Homo-oligomer: A and B are copies of this chain.
Amino acid sequence: MTEKWIVGVDLGGTTIKLAFINMNGEILHKWEIPTDNSNEGQNITRNIANTINQKLEQLKEQKSKLVGLGMGAPGPVDYNTGIIRNVVNLGWKDNFPLQESLQTLTELPVAIENDANCAALGEMWNGAGKGTSDLVCVTLGTGVGGGVIANGNIVRGISGAAGEIGHITSIPVGGAPCNCGKTGCLETIASATGIVRLAEIELSNAGAKGQLAKIHQDNGKVTAKDVFDCARVQDELATKILDEVALHLGFALANIANTLNPELIVLGGGVSRAGDILLNKVKENFSQYAFTSVRESTNLALATLGNDAGAIGAAWLIKNKLAK
């Protein structure tokens, strides 16, 4: 039997990542196109359909090679209708019929899922969580996102707001304001933005010294990466910030695990590139706050798929549909 491919699409505000993926969750070809937000976003689905046809032509493959298209989209999805809601930065008006439009233009079966959920599905299918069916994925980027998989299925919740791990409250009283309107959310601490915010507070002290303070003095700013790099060489201020991030992340993840006891919690996103220096401190705090049998059975690991997780997880949606 000839191998069939799935199109995995990760729709972002500036770039659309596309990939042809086989039935084992492996990327065979991947490419990107810019996200065209003009014309109320009407060009987006048209551009996706066109670029897929062009890529097939280039590879000298027939359309029949493709069995479906899965897409991760940055916003709440109505799963009954495939309508995407309130995605202001893609130019779409409210309630854009994303699935229908893509199905018409690509002539393929289409499945849509929130992008954080796709990242979790990707890591489950062919990443850090390969083979598991109970996994929580936390994406530490500009914000903090999350995807929850239980019994092999994405947990979406009643209004699609499951996995809002970034908006778990970490600081009950006096926390920093969050974009969501609350205060003290995990995102205000453990996102790249949150880490920089914590650093700015520390660095605003008159007596701030050390390597991180030096970078701040030289560049007029610091990045989350600077914080981790300085913590790696035992800079005192940077270590203090790392400790605070790891405390709140470990605490929140332990409480999630006390509720769900997943086999694995995967840390992904740009901030997770800090690697073991972050992971190990998060694990320490996790151990302290996890129920005994949860501590013994739920593991923490770094994501392995990087930026490909979303497209791979989106493709899984089609694989899962075909299996039913």
Q: Which of A21-29, A95-103, A144-152 contacts B (4 or more CB under 8 A)?
A: A144-152
* Interface assignment of A169: CB less than 8 Å from any CB of chain B: yes
Say which residue of B146, B150, B159, B263 sits within 8 Å of A296 (CB atoms).
B159
Docked Cα-Cα span, A153 to B154, in Å, equals: 12
* Interface assignment of A35: CB less than 8 Å from any CB of chain B: no
CB pair A260–B181 under 8 Å, yes or no, is: no
CB pair B169–A262 under 8 Å, yes or no, is: no
CB pair B157–A292 under 8 Å, yes or no, is: no
Docked Cα-Cα span, A158 to B255, in Å, equals: 15
| Contact-residue bracket for chain A | 35 or more
Docked Cα-Cα span, A75 to B169, in Å, equals: 31
* Interface assignment of A320: CB less than 8 Å from any CB of chain B: no
Chain B residues, CB < 8 A from A293: 76, 159-161, 164
Chain B residues, CB < 8 A from A260: 148, 155, 157, 162, 259
* Interface assignment of A165: CB less than 8 Å from any CB of chain B: yes
- Please, which residue of chain B has its CB at the minimum distance from the CB of A162? B261
CB pair A294–B153 under 8 Å, yes or no, is: no
CB pair B258–A255 under 8 Å, yes or no, is: no
- Please, which residue of chain B has its CB at the minimum distance from the CB of A297? B159
Chain B residues, CB < 8 A from A258: 161, 164-165, 167-169
CB pair B159–A261 under 8 Å, yes or no, is: yes
CB pair B263–A161 under 8 Å, yes or no, is: no
* Interface assignment of A281: CB less than 8 Å from any CB of chain B: no
CB pair B294–A261 under 8 Å, yes or no, is: no
- Given contact pairs A153-B151, A169-B289, A291-B180, A160 touches B261 in the complex (Cβ within 8 A): yes
Distance in Å: Cβ of A84 to nearest Cβ of chain B: 14
Q: List 22 A-B contacts (CB under 8 A).
A: A134-B155, A134-B157, A150-B151, A150-B153, A151-B151, A151-B153, A157-B262, A157-B294, A157-B297, A157-B298, A158-B298, A159-B296, A161-B293, A161-B297, A163-B261, A164-B291, A164-B294, A165-B258, A169-B289, A172-B289, A180-B291, A182-B291
Chain A residues with CB under 8 Å of chain B are 76, 132, 134, 136, 146, 148, 150-151, 153, 155-165, 167-169, 172, 180-182, 251-252, 254-256, 258-263, 288-289, 291-294, 296-298
12 additional contacts (CB under 8 A) given A161-B258, A172-B289: A151-B155, A155-B260, A157-B260, A157-B262, A160-B293, A161-B261, A161-B293, A164-B294, A165-B258, A165-B259, A169-B255, A259-B259
